[in-house]
Homo-oligomer: A and B are copies of this chain.
Amino acid sequence: MDQLPSLSALRAFEASARHLSMTLAANELHVTPGAVSLQIRDLESALGVRLFERRTRSLALTSDGAEYFATMRTAFRLIREATATLTMRSKDTVLTVTCTAGFATHWLVPRLRRFEEAHPDIDLRISASHRMMDFQRDGIDIAIRHGLGGYEGLASERLLDDEYVPVCTPETAATLGPSPTVDDLANLTLIHDVYRRDWELWLQAAGATRVNAMHGPVFTDGAGAYHAMKAGLGIALMRRSFVEQELAEGTLVAPFPIGLASALAYHLVYPTGALERPAIAVLRSWLFSEVSRTAPPA
């Protein structure tokens, strides 16, 4: 076969040969030792030669393996260096931000045009994920994370408070009458996401005595709850920052402007030292500027 063996396997081989350890190679490549072991087994099978001599807890290169490693080491060094040269060149023109899908949809993406207008030379990439992403592994420059802050080994700054406020369509609100009390919510469908307790806490804080906090449909995610609310099914607790634009526009209303404050907030999180890169500093400034603005985007 004139095709190359799996390049992933070559990478696993080169790293293992350099470290003389599959465990260290696995750490470097962000995979498990089992994955490296399998890759190398398959590479040896494809090539028809043994590359390593296995001892119980260590490796030695065979003569074939040592010869192959000498060339692979050079090849991978060339690949790494050429790739680093190119990506370094784009580093201050492309930034990757990670945040939750909800935050992206409701807060960040609507403002993106303002950032692009202010900084046409910087290309912002948004990686929407609930996963706890690894800066180095996932190529993330900066993150907006929802939580308590204080992430180990990272810098974080509180960016945006987070409070829940019940919102609904104007049509749904009209059914509450001209001067509603919180107990009138008993006449509406309470829409839940998986955190049912949020309604319970809000009703308690608002002083409601005749509303069953546990009643109403549950959606597995905030997006489902949001769409159901928009369809007029009832009233949902939404993060204020997500709906402030629609509240300003009047397409959504908050019949009871009582927020449920939370210890949780959105934090700007980045590797120590990241602000030395001009583009990241620029993005940070812009984000804080945006959270200080009172008017959401047009």
Residues of chain A at the chain B interface (Cβ within 8 Å): 1-5, 7-8, 10-11, 29-30, 46-49, 64, 67-68, 71-72, 74-76, 78-83, 85-87, 89-91, 93-94, 123, 136-139
Contact = CB atoms under 8 A, between A and B. Distances in A.
Contacts of A87: 47-48
Chain copies in complex: 2
Given A93-B48, A136-B2, A78 B71 contact: yes
Given A7-B7, A49-B86, 12 more contacts: A3-B139, A4-B79, A5-B83, A7-B10, A48-B87, A67-B82, A68-B82, A71-B78, A71-B82, A75-B75, A75-B76, A75-B79
Contacts of A136: 1-2
25 contacts: A2-B136, A3-B29, A3-B30, A3-B139, A4-B11, A4-B76, A4-B83, A7-B7, A47-B83, A48-B93, A49-B86, A64-B86, A64-B89, A67-B82, A67-B85, A68-B82, A71-B78, A71-B79, A71-B82, A74-B75, A74-B78, A75-B75, A75-B78, A75-B82, A78-B78
Contacts of A64: 86, 89
